[in-house]
Amino acid sequence: MGYETIASPVNLGGLVLKNRIIFAPTSFGLPEERLLERLRRIAAGGCAMIIVGDVPAGRSPFGSLYSARGFARYRRLCEAVHREGCLICAQLHQSDSDLAGMVRYLPGVLTKRYSMDQLRELLNQRVGPYISSLPAEKVAGITASFGSAAVLAAKAGFDMVQVHGDRMCGSFASPLFNRRQDRYGASVVNRARFAVEAVTSIRRSMPDMPIDFKLAVRQEEPHYGNAGMLVEELPVLIPLLEQAGVTSFHVALADHSRLSDTIPPANHPYFSSQGCFLRYADEVRSLTRLPVCGVGGLTDPDFVEEQLKSGRIDCAAMSRQLLADPDWPRKVTEGNTDAVRQCVRCNRDCLGGIQRHEGVHCVFDREQV
Ligand SMILES: Cc1cc2nc3c(=O)[nH]c(=O)nc-3n(C[C@H](O)[C@H](O)[C@H](O)COP(=O)(O)O)c2cc1C
Ligand code: SF4
């Protein structure tokens, strides 16, 4: 099989990608030097763009674009990725964890009374009350910070920004968390306002910057995903985001549920197949003419080529596959598919590494040691 479509360029909001493969946003939990080397290595494997996961839109005690040290760190990342001929995008996100509320769980975490999954569940329980009681002026200040962060991201060298439609965008979008009765709550238009204001703020600050939006989609029957918008609500959300200035969409299952749903293993009861979230991308495709990027269980070169060639998606984003084999794009575009080390979607050392506080790795790395 030929892989001409994978190897062909694509235009995202005026930015030309050399091929269709994007490294999906991935938090590594690694120290600076090791993160830099991992992203450089992924860039060297031939993907067209790396999306750096979870870049804070506001000031953050964990480092952000606003501090001299944080800015310098992102600048080095951008330079390292660019040197390998790869573009780089900042995933701007706003956490919806109630930091003050988190403090009460610290002793339990330090004494290992709570596992990471339990802590996540406890934090999720606080999201609704937290975002439902944030004063409206404070919310407007948070959405405005996306514009300031985009200006800094461009200065640091990022080629594009992605608004993370999950986290605070996602919890505002979902009535499972958002109980507000003001302009940020109740109707779909009001629940979409956080995301729309964040995008508008970026567009005002950076008139020419490509803006990708990570659409967090949830569904009922069966119930999957808690934050984000229901598939049935997308016809309202997508035109609003387009009018605000979004230039492409990246479509995945909404979060605030089990991580093994958003990063599904091969034995997942519902999302076990290749391209497991593409059903949501199909919905988005039917509602917009903007480029749509698919993600989720994309590992097989023939399958990926077929989805791109048929026009089902315009780009294919991969997290775990490029952790397992950063050279997937180069090997596939050179027709050397036999040499590809295909991710088996076991989640043992990537998601497992994060959960064990060891940072993201891959079972295949162990074989090389
Ligand atoms: C270790 C790890 C960390 C991730 N971190 C993020 C993140 O920071 N932001 C995000 O939007 N998605 C994150 N994801 C989800 C991925 O972007 C992707 O949607 C998901 O893994 C499914 O794609 P895949 O089958 O290619 O891995 C992460 C995934 C993994 C495996
Ligand atoms: S450990 Fe490696 S092979 Fe297993 S899911 Fe993670 S990236 Fe894929």
Q: pLDDT digit string (tens) for 45-102?
A: 999 999 999 999 999 877 899 999 999 999 999 999 999 999 999 999 999 988 776 7
Residue keyed to tokens 């330079």: 79
For ligand 2, atom 1: residue with the closest CA: 362
Closest ligand relative to 367 C-alpha: 2
> Is pLDDT at 369 greater than 60 in this prediction?
no
The residues annotated with a catalytic role in the active site are 167
Nearest in space to 62 (alpha carbons), one of 93, 23, 104: 93
Cα(20)–Cα(305) distance, integer angstroms: 10
Instruction: Provide the CATH number for the domain formed by 4-368 in this structure.
Output: 3.20.20.70
Report the pocket of ligand 2 as residue ranges, CB < 6 Å.
320, 323-324, 343-350, 362-364
Q: Alpha-carbon distance 131 to 169, whole Å?
A: 10
Place of tokens 């997508």: 238
Contact status, residue 142 vs residue 94, Cβ threshold 8 Å:
yes
Mutate to test the pocket of ligand 1, among 318, 319, 321 (most ligand atoms within 8 A of CB): 319
Q: How far is the CA of 24 from the centre of ligand 1 (A)?
A: 6
Q: Measured from the CA of 351, which atom of ligand 2 is nearest?
A: 6
Neighbours of 106 (CB within 10 A): 11
Under a CB-based contact definition with an 8 Å cutoff, are residues 271 and 259 in contact? no
Taking 90 as the threshold, does the pLDDT of residue 120 lie above it? no
Structure letter (DSSP) for residue 219: B
Instruction: Give the model's pLDDT for residue 331.
Output: 98
Check residue 367 and give its pLDDT.
66
Give the E-state strand segments of the chain in sequence order. Answer: 10-12, 15-17, 21-26, 49-56, 87-93, 160-164, 211-218, 229-230, 248-253, 292-295, 315-318
C-beta separation of 110 from 183 below 8 A: no
Helix (H, G, I), strand (E, B) or coil at 89: strand
Q: Nearest to residue 203, comparing CAs of 147, 242, 120? A: 147
The answer to whether 177 and 131 have CB atoms below 8 angstroms apart is yes
Look up tokens 């979607």; give the residue: 345
How far apart (Å, rounded) are the C-alpha atoms in residues 191 and 120? 23
Tokens of residue 333, six digits: 């575009």
- Segment 211-238 shows an average pLDDT of 96
What span, in angstroms and rounded, lies between the C-alpha atoms of 127 and 95? 10
What is d(CA 164, CA 303) in angstroms, rounded to the nearest whole number?
Answer: 27
Question: CA 142 to CA 94: how far, in whole Å?
Answer: 8
The tens digit of pLDDT for each residue in 301-318 reads 999 999 999 999 999 999
Specify the pLDDT at position 368: 55
Residue ranges of domains in the chain: 4-368
CA of 182 to the centre of ligand 1 (A): 33
Residues β-bridged to residue 22: 49, 317
**Which residues have C-beta within 8 Å of that of residue 239, sequence separation ≥ 6?**
287
Rounded to the nearest angstrom, the distance between the alpha carbon of 16 and the centre of ligand 2 is 30
Pairing, β 15-17 against β 10-12: antiparallel
Quick one: what percent of the chain has pLDDT higher than 70? 98
* pLDDT band at residue 107 using 50, 70 and 90 as cut-offs: confident
**Ligand 1 pocket member 263 (CB < 6 A):** yes
Q: State which amino acid sits at residue 258.
A: R
Query: Beta partners for 250?
Result: 214, 293
Q: Is the CB of 351 under 6 A from ligand 1?
A: yes
Q: Which two tokens stand for residue 136?
A: 């409206």
Average predicted confidence (pLDDT) for the chain: 94
Q: What confidence score (pLDDT) does residue 359 get?
A: 93
How far, in Å, from the CA of 363 to the mean position of ligand 2?
A: 6
Report d(CA 256, CA 261) in Å as an integer.
10
pLDDT in tens, 158-208: 999 999 999 999 999 999 999 999 999 999 999 999 999 999 999 999 999
Opening angle at CA 31, ends 42 and 330, nearest 5: 5
**Dist. CA 315–CA 167, nearest whole Å:** 23
- Assess whether the C-beta atom of 160 lies below 6 angstroms from ligand 1: no
